[in-house]
Amino acid sequence: MSVTPVVGVLALQGDVAEHLAALEHAGAKARPVRRPGELAEVDGLVLPGGESTTMSRLLDVFELLEPLRERIAGGMPAYGSCAGMILLARQVLDGRPDQRQLDGLDVVVRRNAFGRQVDSFEGVLGFTGVGELPAVFIRAPWVEKAGDGVEILARIPDTPDAGEAADRIVAVRQGPVLATAFHPELTGDERVHRLFVGMVRAAAGT
Protein backbone atom coordinates (compact mmCIF):
# COMPACT_ATOMS: atom_id res chain seq x y z
CA MET A 1 0.00 0.00 0.00
CA SER A 2 1.38 3.42 -0.93
CA VAL A 3 2.23 5.95 1.76
CA THR A 4 0.26 9.21 1.70
CA PRO A 5 2.67 11.92 0.52
CA VAL A 6 3.19 15.00 2.69
CA VAL A 7 2.82 18.12 0.57
CA GLY A 8 3.51 21.57 1.96
CA VAL A 9 2.04 24.90 0.96
CA LEU A 10 4.30 27.92 1.34
CA ALA A 11 2.28 29.86 3.92
CA LEU A 12 3.84 33.32 3.82
CA GLN A 13 1.13 34.99 1.73
CA GLY A 14 -1.57 34.15 -0.80
CA ASP A 15 -4.12 31.36 -1.36
CA VAL A 16 -2.78 29.03 1.32
CA ALA A 17 -6.05 27.61 2.73
CA GLU A 18 -7.45 26.89 -0.73
CA HIS A 19 -4.36 24.92 -1.77
CA LEU A 20 -4.30 22.99 1.52
CA ALA A 21 -7.93 21.92 0.99
CA ALA A 22 -7.37 20.97 -2.66
CA LEU A 23 -4.30 18.88 -1.78
CA GLU A 24 -6.19 16.99 0.94
CA HIS A 25 -8.98 16.21 -1.54
CA ALA A 26 -6.34 15.12 -4.06
CA GLY A 27 -4.98 12.48 -1.67
CA ALA A 28 -2.10 14.22 0.10
CA LYS A 29 -1.41 15.10 3.70
CA ALA A 30 -1.20 18.89 3.41
CA ARG A 31 0.78 21.14 5.76
CA PRO A 32 1.56 24.87 5.84
CA VAL A 33 5.27 25.68 5.56
CA ARG A 34 6.76 28.82 7.12
CA ARG A 35 10.11 27.64 8.51
CA PRO A 36 13.10 25.66 7.21
CA GLY A 37 12.31 22.84 9.66
CA GLU A 38 8.81 22.51 8.22
CA LEU A 39 10.21 22.53 4.69
CA ALA A 40 12.52 19.64 5.58
CA GLU A 41 9.53 17.48 6.54
CA VAL A 42 7.57 17.64 3.26
CA ASP A 43 7.85 15.54 0.09
CA GLY A 44 6.75 18.36 -2.21
CA LEU A 45 5.75 22.02 -2.02
CA VAL A 46 3.09 24.29 -3.52
CA LEU A 47 3.94 27.96 -4.01
CA PRO A 48 0.56 29.72 -4.08
CA GLY A 49 -0.71 32.80 -5.80
CA GLY A 50 -0.19 36.14 -4.09
CA GLU A 51 2.23 38.99 -4.73
CA SER A 52 5.51 37.69 -6.07
CA THR A 53 7.76 40.52 -4.86
CA THR A 54 6.28 40.31 -1.34
CA MET A 55 6.70 36.53 -1.31
CA SER A 56 10.29 36.89 -2.52
CA ARG A 57 11.07 39.28 0.33
CA LEU A 58 9.35 37.04 2.91
CA LEU A 59 11.36 34.02 1.74
CA ASP A 60 14.44 35.96 2.81
CA VAL A 61 12.90 37.15 6.08
CA PHE A 62 11.85 33.63 7.08
CA GLU A 63 15.24 32.18 5.97
CA LEU A 64 13.56 29.92 3.42
CA LEU A 65 15.08 31.16 0.16
CA GLU A 66 18.29 29.12 0.12
CA PRO A 67 16.81 25.97 1.74
CA LEU A 68 14.01 26.03 -0.84
CA ARG A 69 16.43 26.55 -3.72
CA GLU A 70 18.46 23.59 -2.47
CA ARG A 71 15.43 21.31 -2.12
CA ILE A 72 14.21 22.15 -5.64
CA ALA A 73 17.70 21.73 -7.12
CA GLY A 74 17.86 18.37 -5.33
CA GLY A 75 14.71 17.14 -7.06
CA MET A 76 11.89 17.99 -4.65
CA PRO A 77 8.63 18.36 -6.62
CA ALA A 78 7.28 21.91 -6.61
CA TYR A 79 4.13 23.45 -8.05
CA GLY A 80 3.66 27.18 -8.47
CA SER A 81 0.38 28.91 -9.34
CA CYS A 82 0.42 32.53 -10.58
CA ALA A 83 2.96 34.23 -8.25
CA GLY A 84 4.40 30.76 -7.61
CA MET A 85 5.13 30.44 -11.34
CA ILE A 86 6.97 33.78 -11.21
CA LEU A 87 9.10 32.66 -8.26
CA LEU A 88 10.02 29.37 -9.94
CA ALA A 89 11.16 31.00 -13.18
CA ARG A 90 14.82 31.63 -13.96
CA GLN A 91 14.02 35.15 -15.21
CA VAL A 92 11.15 37.61 -14.76
CA LEU A 93 10.35 40.52 -17.04
CA ASP A 94 8.92 43.65 -15.37
CA GLY A 95 9.93 42.43 -11.91
CA ARG A 96 11.60 44.51 -9.21
CA PRO A 97 15.43 44.69 -9.27
CA ASP A 98 15.65 43.11 -5.82
CA GLN A 99 13.26 40.24 -6.63
CA ARG A 100 14.80 36.83 -5.95
CA GLN A 101 14.18 33.72 -8.05
CA LEU A 102 14.18 30.00 -7.22
CA ASP A 103 15.49 28.92 -10.67
CA GLY A 104 13.26 25.86 -10.73
CA LEU A 105 12.09 26.28 -14.33
CA ASP A 106 14.01 27.22 -17.46
CA VAL A 107 11.45 29.85 -18.45
CA VAL A 108 11.21 33.59 -18.86
CA VAL A 109 7.97 34.89 -17.34
CA ARG A 110 6.26 38.24 -17.85
CA ARG A 111 4.79 39.49 -14.58
CA ASN A 112 1.21 40.87 -14.66
CA ALA A 113 1.13 40.05 -18.38
CA PHE A 114 -2.67 40.06 -18.56
CA GLY A 115 -2.99 43.44 -16.88
CA ARG A 116 -4.12 44.73 -13.50
CA GLN A 117 -6.60 43.26 -11.01
CA VAL A 118 -9.55 44.67 -12.98
CA ASP A 119 -8.41 42.65 -16.00
CA SER A 120 -8.81 39.33 -14.18
CA PHE A 121 -10.91 36.78 -16.07
CA GLU A 122 -12.04 33.17 -16.27
CA GLY A 123 -11.94 30.75 -19.18
CA VAL A 124 -11.54 27.14 -20.26
CA LEU A 125 -8.18 25.72 -21.30
CA GLY A 126 -7.02 22.49 -22.87
CA PHE A 127 -4.41 21.03 -20.49
CA THR A 128 -2.15 18.24 -21.80
CA GLY A 129 -2.81 14.95 -19.99
CA VAL A 130 -5.74 16.37 -18.04
CA GLY A 131 -8.32 17.66 -20.54
CA GLU A 132 -10.31 20.87 -20.54
CA LEU A 133 -10.05 22.87 -17.32
CA PRO A 134 -11.74 25.94 -15.89
CA ALA A 135 -9.07 28.57 -15.30
CA VAL A 136 -9.13 31.73 -13.17
CA PHE A 137 -6.54 34.40 -14.04
CA ILE A 138 -5.84 37.17 -11.49
CA ARG A 139 -3.10 39.67 -12.41
CA ALA A 140 -1.56 36.64 -14.07
CA PRO A 141 1.83 36.12 -15.71
CA TRP A 142 2.50 34.23 -18.90
CA VAL A 143 5.60 32.45 -20.16
CA GLU A 144 7.44 34.49 -22.79
CA LYS A 145 10.06 31.85 -23.49
CA ALA A 146 10.51 28.20 -22.50
CA GLY A 147 13.75 26.23 -22.65
CA ASP A 148 14.18 22.99 -24.58
CA GLY A 149 13.59 20.84 -21.50
CA VAL A 150 10.27 22.48 -20.63
CA GLU A 151 7.00 20.77 -21.57
CA ILE A 152 4.22 23.18 -22.52
CA LEU A 153 0.94 21.97 -21.01
CA ALA A 154 -1.52 24.77 -21.77
CA ARG A 155 -1.87 27.90 -23.88
CA ILE A 156 -4.51 30.60 -24.15
CA PRO A 157 -6.84 29.60 -27.03
CA ASP A 158 -6.25 31.53 -30.25
CA THR A 159 -9.68 33.12 -30.56
CA PRO A 160 -10.70 36.48 -32.08
CA ASP A 161 -11.23 38.07 -28.65
CA ALA A 162 -7.95 36.78 -27.13
CA GLY A 163 -5.93 39.67 -28.54
CA GLU A 164 -2.26 39.71 -27.56
CA ALA A 165 -2.83 36.81 -25.16
CA ALA A 166 -3.66 34.38 -27.97
CA ASP A 167 -1.49 31.26 -27.86
CA ARG A 168 0.48 32.48 -24.81
CA ILE A 169 1.91 29.73 -22.60
CA VAL A 170 0.14 29.47 -19.23
CA ALA A 171 1.13 26.02 -17.89
CA VAL A 172 4.49 24.22 -18.00
CA ARG A 173 6.35 21.30 -16.50
CA GLN A 174 10.05 20.56 -16.26
CA GLY A 175 10.78 17.26 -14.55
CA PRO A 176 9.35 17.43 -11.01
CA VAL A 177 8.44 21.14 -11.28
CA LEU A 178 4.97 22.25 -12.42
CA ALA A 179 3.59 25.78 -12.86
CA THR A 180 0.37 27.42 -13.96
CA ALA A 181 -0.40 31.10 -14.55
CA PHE A 182 -3.94 30.46 -13.32
CA HIS A 183 -5.50 29.43 -9.99
CA PRO A 184 -6.95 25.87 -10.00
CA GLU A 185 -7.41 26.07 -6.23
CA LEU A 186 -10.25 28.57 -6.78
CA THR A 187 -12.38 26.47 -9.15
CA GLY A 188 -13.20 23.29 -7.20
CA ASP A 189 -11.55 21.23 -9.97
CA GLU A 190 -8.79 19.20 -8.32
CA ARG A 191 -7.21 17.64 -11.41
CA VAL A 192 -4.10 19.86 -11.42
CA HIS A 193 -3.56 19.11 -7.73
CA ARG A 194 -4.07 15.39 -8.40
CA LEU A 195 -1.47 15.63 -11.16
CA PHE A 196 0.97 17.25 -8.73
CA VAL A 197 0.29 14.77 -5.94
CA GLY A 198 1.00 12.01 -8.47
CA MET A 199 4.31 13.71 -9.31
CA VAL A 200 5.19 13.78 -5.59
CA ARG A 201 4.33 10.09 -5.23
CA ALA A 202 6.46 9.24 -8.27
CA ALA A 203 9.42 11.21 -6.94
CA ALA A 204 9.12 9.50 -3.55
CA GLY A 205 8.82 6.08 -5.18
CA THR A 206 5.51 5.32 -3.46
Q: Which of 19, 183, 190, 193 is catalytic?
A: 183
Give yes or no for a contact between 47 and 7, defined as CB atoms under 8 angstroms apart: no
Question: Is 185 among the catalytic positions?
Answer: yes
Give yes or no for a contact between 123 and 188, defined as CB atoms under 8 angstroms apart: no
Q: Which of 18, 82, 190, 193 is catalytic?
A: 82
Q: Which of 19, 25, 151, 185 is catalytic?
A: 185
Question: Is 151 among the catalytic positions?
Answer: no
Active site residues: 82, 183, 185
